[in-house]
Amino acid sequence: LAFSTRAIIKHPLRPIIVPTNPITSFFKHSLFRNPSSITHTSPLVPNRTYATNTTGQFKTYKPRTPGLRWLRRPINDHLWKGKPVRKLTLPKRSSGGRNHHGRITVRHRGGGHKRRIRIIDFNRWESGAHEVLRIEYDPNRSAHLALLRHKESNNLSYILAPFGLREGHVVHSFRSQQTLEREGEDPSITKLAALERGNCLPLRMIPQGTTIHCISLRPDGPGILCRSAGTSAQIIHTGSKGYSQVRLNSGEVRLIHVDCCATIGTVSNPDHQHRMLGKAGRSRWLGIRPTVRGVAMNSVDHPHGGGRGKSKGNRHPVSPWGVLAKGGKTRKKSNPWVVKPRKRR
């Protein structure tokens, strides 16, 4: 009908439709009259970005589908858009929550997108200056990664990116200097350079009140504490000998040896806990299977199951095996390294 040459009858209640040739109008575009103006942001390429509000901390989308209506993501425009360094990755073999007998030992796991494990340097024994090449996304953890390159040896390595670290920054590792004499300071370590975010150094060289993360529990061990997105700890008391007192995110105060190392700053991606997936399928992409309530099961499957209506029989919330699920004591003995325990329910 677009190529029809029939006369159009005017009607008082119908609009006049002028037939056009879509092929002719396509080649009459200004980009074809001036081919030099064609760029990667050509209007001929459809715009697939449905984000409506990116002015705050999160990115929201137009509700074109039910899954986009409640989707909310942190704004991380500084992340690397390409693939990771291949030699610093390993294939991840998923077990689906099953043991070597094939029985499910961890529920609600299975499926998910294919991933590769990033080899992260939690020890940071190589001293010297490292240049930050880029900040990358890691599908295996909530925090972001920073790709480092040693300025002398050109070795590449991944570390947990502190909040605020960007491409082009320089970080140092002073962990190998802890074998020096305790009385004298290493002249290469200055107080201003040591307290920059991303630097790794022993606790005895970090002043009180400093925010740290990726803390080791042994002088020769890797960083273990405070590795999730947005987590950090604070040094309450430290010295040249003995143990330092560190307050963790939960409020617990713990004793850690002064020769253990930590990284200055807070872990990146602090808005990870406030994101919204928007739909159940996004949880399946992450390898999380659905969770069924106990009151919806039969009595042979769960202690809360059975009965007429939604009732668990006036019983305290328990697991499928009868263990208290909320507020039950699970610790057999107290931890001697904990000075002040965290607040419990």
Contact criterion met (CB below 8 Å) for 101 and 108? no
| 63 vs 296: CA distance, rounded Å | 32
What is the pLDDT at residue 187?
A: 53
Tokens found for residue 104: 């499910």
Contacts of 182 (CB under 8 A, 6+ apart): 204, 240, 241
DSSP 49-105: --EEE-SSSEEEE--SSHHHHS-EEE--TTB--S---GGGEEE----TTB-TTS-BS
| Residue found under tokens 């039950």 | 328
Burial of 118 from C-beta contacts in 10 A (0-12 / 13-18 / 19+): buried
What is the pLDDT at residue 327?
A: 82
What is the pLDDT at residue 18?
A: 47
What is the pLDDT at residue 7?
A: 47
What is the pLDDT at residue 192?
A: 52
Burial of 200 from C-beta contacts in 10 A (0-12 / 13-18 / 19+): buried
What is the pLDDT at residue 179?
A: 45
Contact criterion met (CB below 8 Å) for 84 and 116? yes
Q: Which residues of the chain have pLDDT under 70?
A: 1-51, 53-56, 177-193, 345
What is the pLDDT at residue 188?
A: 55
254-275 pLDDT tens trace: 999 999 999 999 999 999 999 9
DSSP 122-172: SS----EEEEEEEEE--TTSSS-EEEEEETTT--EEEEEPBTT--TT-EEE
| 256 vs 218: CA distance, rounded Å | 8
What is the pLDDT at residue 244?
A: 95
